[in-house]
Amino acid sequence: MMEKIQRFGGAMFTPVLLFSFSGIMLALTIIFKNPMLVGSIANEGTFWYNSWSVIESGAWTVFNQMELLFVIGLPIGLAKKANARAAMEAVVTYLTFNYFVGSILEHFGKTFGVDYTGEAGSGTGLKMIAGIKTLDTGIIGAILISAIVVWIHNRYFEVKLPDFLGIFQGSSLVVIIGFFAMLPIAILTAWIWPKIQVGIGSMQGFLAASGVFGVWLYTFLERILIPTGLHHFIYTPFVFGPAVVEGGITRYWMDHLNEFSKSTEPLKKLFPEGGFALHGNSKIFAAPGIAAAFYVTSKPEKRKKVLAILIPVTLTAVLAGITEPLEFTFLFIAPVLFVVHAFLAATMSATMYAFGVVGDMGGGFIDLLAKNWIPLAANHWQTYVIQLVIGLAFTAIYFFVFRFLILKFNFATPGREVDDAADVKLYSKKEYKEKMANGGGIVMEGANQYTEAAAIYLEGLGGSDNIATVNNCATRLRIGVYDESLVQGDTAFKEGGAHGVVRNGKAFQVIVGLSVPQVREQFENLLKMNENTEGDGQK
């Protein structure tokens, strides 16, 4: 069950990867349309203003079609075969579901306590999705329907029908089953979801009123669950869903960014819910402190090597907001440091919130600049000075706390390994090619710089015959195996550049980094090649 939940969480991250760029582009258009920042050239009606309005309309794509992106994203990550067809099936079935819901409310809306005659929009509980006026179930509805379609696809896509019904098998059969399944689900949704919307409204009030402690608890859970891969379930309802504000913090923030930039009211008063999106500060300010502690506590003869490892992962954390490569460098050898990290990250966010810092700050420094500091600096620079002071203070706190704990408990952090010969090479590129040649003289088409790492991970996971499922999220290659005893130790995977391996029964997560999509592609190519080779051998 944990493996399935982790795969589900990883699949949810597929569309989330698109939000960062779109958010930055939106922020830039709002900056360039603000006369306070660029002068009278940005007055409404000018060529400059109209040109940036065109760009802005395109930048809203991801946010306006958020539900459809999650509907498409889940099959890509969860369908066992024919992922592209599964994505098509999910879209068709999701649209069918919304047509059903819209029609039910049109004819029986009063029965379910829904006024369907009004315009769809904020506060009505209704929304236009792909031109369909329907209940606003947000990403929750999208994920639920898509998950149902993936289950139907995995179970019935390869079912063989009699020849005279052959036209109805494959994707057609999945959509047919989905069609009939959506009708009762649509009725249940029309009946239950309006009550859930009331509950969400109450929860939003509770969380907003929970103040500093609520922000602390949210950030702590978001960090501490990273090793399990379940942190997606914490931040997604807040940042992209209705947990604290309709449409999610990211959408609401971008909708009102221009308004906030012109107001002189404190940001915390304008948008107190923004305290639940401060978790990116730990990515920006914690990473340098942790890296510095690792460097100064490493053995002098190993500091150059440690520095070479720390610089890229620290820059990745600070600039892009991807912290897993850094965090997993110490998670496995000193788990207590990760608990301390989660505690400090939560305390940092809570402290900033107590001093009035709010916004959409879930990413790295580039995200922070584009979506917060630059567009709002004119009237809210004092808030960001406070944020910077608190952040740098926590950088120092991280450094001294981590340095103290590493030395006190003699943790084997990078550069302090007990066994200096632990870094044993598994395969070189030459050795890999020789191994492939000895296996039958096959040269794999499409091989590139990621093939070697993929081959090392495949070997470390017990070979092709031991691979049950393949998936990935932003930085991890998620693999299900048949026999976990065949999987090698972390040292084998580190030879491919991995930062570590999360082990949970038959579920394994290889911490690859930002190149994980390319590594996964080569990993799957190797699986297909080995499958074809075995098939030829059997023939």
Residues catalogued as catalytic: 473
For residue 278, what are the CA distances in angstroms to 273, 282, 364? Answer: 10, 8, 11
DSSP 204-273: HHHHHHTHHHHHHHHHHHHHHTGGGTTTHHHHHHHHTSSSSSTT-HHHHHHHHHHHHHH--S-HHHH-GG
Cα(332)–Cα(327) distance, integer angstroms: 9
E-strand ranges in 399-537 read 467-472, 476-481, 501-504, 507-511
User: In this structure, how many other beta carbons lie within 10 angstroms of the beta carbon of residue 383?
Assistant: 22
Which structure tokens are listed for 346?
């939560």
Token pair 């809203």 is at which residue? Answer: 60
Burial class (CB in 10 A: 0-12, 13-18, 19+), 50: exposed
What is the end-to-end Cα distance of the chain in Å, rounded?
Answer: 38
CA atoms within 13 A on the CB side of 254: 28
What distance in Å separates the CA atoms of residue 505 and residue 491, rounded to the nearest whole number? 19
By the 10 Å C-beta count (0-12 exposed, 13-18 middle, 19+ buried), 538 is classed as exposed
User: 201 to each of 185, 205, 208, 366, how far by Cα in Å?
Assistant: 23, 6, 11, 33
Q: Tell me the sheet residues that pair with 507.
A: 480, 504
Contact 462, 487 (CB under 8 A): yes
Cα–Cα dist 367/20, whole Å: 7
Q: Which amino acid is at 272?
A: P
H-run or E-run covering 37: helix 35-38
Q: Which residues pair with 440 in a beta bridge?
A: none
